[in-house]
Structure 1
Amino acid sequence: MRKFILALFAILLGLAALPSMAANCPHGELDSQYCVDGDKMVAAPPTDPKELKDPSTLVFAYTPVEDPAVYANAFKPFVAYLSKCTGKHVVYYPVLSNSAEVEAMRSGRLHVAGFSTGPTAFAVNLAGAIPFAIKGDPKSYESYRMILIVRADSKYKKPSDLVGAKIAHTAASSNSGNLAPRALLPEVGLTADKNYKVVYSGGHDRSVLGVKAGDYDAATVASDVFERMAARGDIKLSDFRILYKSDPFPTSGFAYAHDLKPELAHKIVECFLSFRFPPEMQKEFSGGVDRFWPATYKKDWAVIRKIADATGAPYDRATFDAEAKKEAAAAAKKKKP
């Protein structure tokens, strides 16, 4: 645990120590080391050819919304395909937190990644990530909802019954696990930190299992994670009651680092969009998901940015640092005997 805390503070210090590399250009909402690419709201590639990267090994990661080991195995067919398609050696990097994943791309250790919905904006603004795809089925990209769950045998029948209760949120940067409930639940009588107690669980799966175990009275989680846990047999849907469902949001955004050589970046996008999930991946992600759909940050994450604005939690350095500290606290609490 001491090593984890020291590593986290090293990350935070590293973020603060990075120099401004793009002082004389428009930044938009981006960190000062990035130039905004026109009206796209993402970082422009470096103008100096020497700063463009063409690594012999591509490092790929997927958001830690559940146990990282689950996805290390689930993405094996895709990692093999991406390697063959790009002609590069590709390795899967199992990140342990949203903040660690963002920092890995910011520091240049991560080249391609799937960021969960909320942290995608942190990755764009602080790490120079360029979102380009979302998982989907043959008709459209995949979406999900924020759901409020309780145990089926609990006394809670409607959201307002949870006034005074202990409700699990996942992490401060999470859309469905924190920002969406703060923005949307007041309309049904629940206001975070005012008439119910927020407890950060550290993950959607932990929130779900915590409700099942009775550790929390309720939890706000992503519907797709909840459904995947049921499909794997980790939980039974009949053990829970859903008290609230939001309108749909885009799922995890897949992004590449802004400083990859354009030819490599274009090839990565091409490889993603031409890939079709084999049966074992379709089983893991369920819902008919079998491919990646093209997406842009400006258009497809507009609703997510709107929620962040409504909650007064912009995707900036201060919010990110606060989120990282909360993730560390949740991890430390989980490690206690």
Structure 2
Amino acid sequence: MKTNMTYVAMAASILALGSATAVTAEECSQRGALDTLYCDANGDLVADTPTDPAKLNDPNTLVFAYTPVEDPAVYADIWEPFIQHLENVTGKDVQFFAVQSNSAEVEAMRSGRLHIAGFSTGPTPFAVNLAGAVPFAIMGADDGGFGYRLQVFTQADSDIQTVADLAGKRVAHTSPTSNSGNQAPRALFPGLGVTPDVDYEVTYSGSHDQSMLGVVAGDYDAAPVASEVVDRMAERGLYDTADVRKIWESDPFPTTSFTVAHDLDPALVAKIHEAFFGFDFAGTTLGDEFDGVSKFIPITYQDQWAVIREIQASNGVQYTPQGLADN
């Protein structure tokens, strides 16, 4: 297994975006919000598989990426048992790509250099519409349950008791495309008595990890973060739970979507699905890292991401290359 992809390769994947966008789009009867590179004739909101066999991709080496995290090297090790399982089932070499940002991950799949990827909740619609990503799985429990919550944390001794108390405070959001770290707060907080960028100044920290650590250090008065991230941070001893206090949490949202590039050969996609849905988390580093997760559960972008699309629509999000660049 190859466990790293160099920054040179990452730069190449981004440069390849220019050639990808130059491709003449096929005539298409329906594409919805998809970029002109893709078509959605069946109306399921994701890019169709090419009908021309010559346009199907069956690479010798599959490139896999997980969402941007604080320490990519740690996650390369955590994902190693699954990568080995994926190699065994598909018969392909698999390379772990340690992405540095949501934009770089989307651009890498759009350029054809990334074949399988886990996209965070908020960036998933950008990956679907700009990169032809096709979500098919999500981590879940034995009972089929899945999801995470937007949680708002402040210091344990803070005078902040409710979301409305964020007015006039220093509040860290993660990044513009993040669901729980930005989009959901902008959609939900006005109904709770405070409007981001109006009642408090938004400071982008870059990640949920940095937001939480910033609250602990007192750099921010509070931060909206994803429950699954802060739970894993606490389990790894990255902060003391006694130093912070949760003041609010949302109903559950879907977690990271696991996707394939739309142009992979259907026979290969079937093998990838087999690898995901046949993987046993028990006793692996992946199972240890994601507490309460025991399997991958089948999902669709059309159904499970409906609430996310609604939140992003309320915030005026546009799934365009410029929208991705701005985020």
> In structure 2, what is the equivalent of residue 187 of structure 1?
191
Letter in 2 for 1:249: F
Residue 47 of structure 1: how far off its partner (Å): 1.7
What root-mean-square deviation, in Å, do the aligned CA atoms of Structure 1 and Structure 2 show? 2.1
Letter of the 2:71 counterpart: D
Residue 237 of structure 2 is aligned to residue 233 of structure 1: yes
- Maintained 8 Å contact 2:17/2:110: no
Distance 1:141 1:11, change over 3 A: farther
Name which of 88, 97, 100 aligns with 2:101. 97
Separation in 1 of the partners of 2:169 and 2:17? 36
Of 98, 119, 122, 2:123 maps to: 119
Could you tell me how far apart the structure 1 residues matched to 2:256 and 2:21 are? Answer: 29
Q: Does 1:282 align with 2:287?
A: yes
TM-score by length of 1: 0.90
Cα distance in 2 between the residues matched to 1:13 and 1:59 = 16
Please name the residue that 2:4 is paired with.
Answer: none
8 Å contact from structure 1 (residues 58, 88) kept in 2? yes
Q: Distance in 2 between matches of 1:88 and 1:236?
A: 42
What corresponds to 1:297 in structure 2?
A: 301
Query: What are the Cα deviations for residues 109-146 of structure 1, in whole angstroms up to 9, with x where unaligned?
Result: 10001000011111100000000000011111420011
Q: Structure 2 CA distance, aligned partners of 1:15 and 1:214?
A: 45
Asked if the contact 1:23/1:33 (under 8 Å) is kept, the reply is: no
Distance in 1 between residues matched to 2:15 and 2:150, nearest whole Å: 30
Q: Where do 1:202-281 residues align within 5 Å?
A: 202-279=206-283, 280-281=285-286
In the superposition, relative to structure 1, how do residues 198 and 26 fare at CA in structure 2: closer, same or farther (>3 Å)?
Answer: same
TM-score (norm 2): 0.93
List alignment gaps of at least 5 residues for structure 2: 1-6
Give the Cα separation in 2 of the matches to 1:108 and 1:133: 20
Which 5+ residue runs of structure 1 have no aligned equivalent?
Answer: 324-337
Show the counterpart of 1:50: 54
Contact conserved, 2:20 with 2:111, CA < 8 A, in 1?
Answer: no
Shift, 1:248, TM fit: 0.4
- Equivalent pair of 2:20/2:110 in contact (CA under 8 Å): no
1:107 maps to 2:117: no
* CA deviation after TM superposition for structure 1 residue 266, in Å: 1.2
Between the aligned residues of both structures, percent identity stands at 53
Q: Distance in 2 between matches of 1:172 and 1:86?
A: 36
Give the 3 Å change call, closer, same or farther, for CA 252–13 of structure 1 in structure 2. closer
Paired residues, what number?
319
